Amino acid sequence: MRVLVTGGAGFIGSHVVDLLLTEGHQVMVADDLSAGREENLNPQAHFYEVDIRSPELEKLFAAEAPEVICHNAAKASVRESMAKPLLYADVNVLGSLNLLELSRKYGVRKFIYASSGGAVYGEPQYLPVDEEHPIHPLDPYGASKHHVEHYLHLYRANWGLAYTILRYPNVYGPRQDPHGEAGVVAIFAHQMLRKQEPVINGSGEQERDFVYVSDVARSNLLALERGDGGTCNLGTGVGTSINEIFARLKAIIGYQGNRVHAPPRPGEVFKIWLDASRARRELTWQPRVGLEEGLRRTVEYFAASRGGG
């Protein structure tokens, strides 16, 4: 199958690319390298350095005739989105619309969309959060990710474009950027390995649903043939606090420092974890890598790369 992965040089997207290639699919990558890295690119994939908003993206569709889109490209920082809401609407909404229009024009069969299970729901009314939970995002990032979900529905209703929406949890693992403000596992591991002092924003009692990146990549593979017209949370159904992530990484690495706290960040949900029973039913998906094993693999990766560069 000919599959286009947007953001395929990025953290999650590059793992999706690797898995699709391993399973024998022909893969194209569209990435402007604003966040993705060339070293993440699989040489077996056909790489196009292009912004998803650009008219130049049509050249890829004309040349490659993709059958499926795995759309992982996005601006993805809650904090940055609070300061730059117009940018997030431009990239995440209008960039996605550009892809949808090209999908319609060139006869793409299916569109697999990476949405956010951590940001679209807002502060949970109940836990674990299922797909029927009210949508009340607290930041422009979450709002932009959910907005595209409505367009997917109308493109299916009007033009027959099949889709599956995957609402990602807090994803962690190798290749995650340790230098940004998102991705607490990568940031803490990178800093502890370098004997720097990680800073926990707020009390550290915030809880998230952490899922290892290979498990998230597998959901994209399964969605190639399953889940048409559906929205599926990915998650473990268990919340883990930031303080616990700190403690576990400290033990794995042998870090000698103590916790340091800073004020909480605006726009962030305090506690959320996701009910992924629909993904189990419709995609036959469930996480395979436990938290302790995933953290160890992540530490090994950053240790091998000298703490992340």
**Are the beta carbons of 19 and 218 closer than 8 angstroms?**
yes
Task: Determine if the peptide bond prior to 178 is cis (ω within 30°).
Answer: no
Alpha helices in the chain (DSSP H): 11-22, 57-64, 78-83, 85-88, 95-105, 140-159, 184-193, 213-223, 242-253, 277-283, 291-304
List the Cα angle 80/271/134 in 5-degree steps. Answer: 85
Q: List the domains of the chain with CATH numbers.
A: 2-173+210-237+273-289 (3.40.50.720), 184-205+239-272+295-304 (3.90.25.10)
Round to whole Å and give the CA distance between 52 and 49: 10
pLDDT score of 306: 61
For 267, the token pair is 């726009």
Q: What single-letter DSSP state applies at residue 253?
A: H
Residues 6+ apart with CB under 8 A from 3: 20, 25, 26, 27, 28, 66, 67, 68, 69, 70, 224
Q: pLDDT tens digits, the chain, 309 residues: what are they?
A: 999 999 999 999 999 999 999 999 999 999 999 999 999 999 999 999 999 999 999 999 999 999 999 999 999 999 899 999 999 999 999 999 999 999 999 999 999 999 999 999 999 999 999 999 999 999 999 999 999 999 999 999 999 999 999 999 999 999 999 987 679 999 999 999 999 999 999 999 999 999 999 999 999 999 999 999 999 999 999 999 999 999 999 999 999 999 999 999 888 899 999 999 999 999 999 999 999 999 999 999 999 986 444
pLDDT score of 179: 86
Question: Taking Cα atoms as reference points, which of 68, 22, 72, 88 lies closest to residue 227?
Answer: 68
CA distance to 3, 196, 302, per residue, from 258 (Å): 46, 11, 20
Amino acid at 243: N
pLDDT score of 309: 46
What is the pTM (predicted TM-score) of this model?
0.97
Question: Taking Cα atoms as reference points, which of 299, 53, 94 lies closest to residue 189?
Answer: 299
Q: Which residues are catalytic?
A: 141
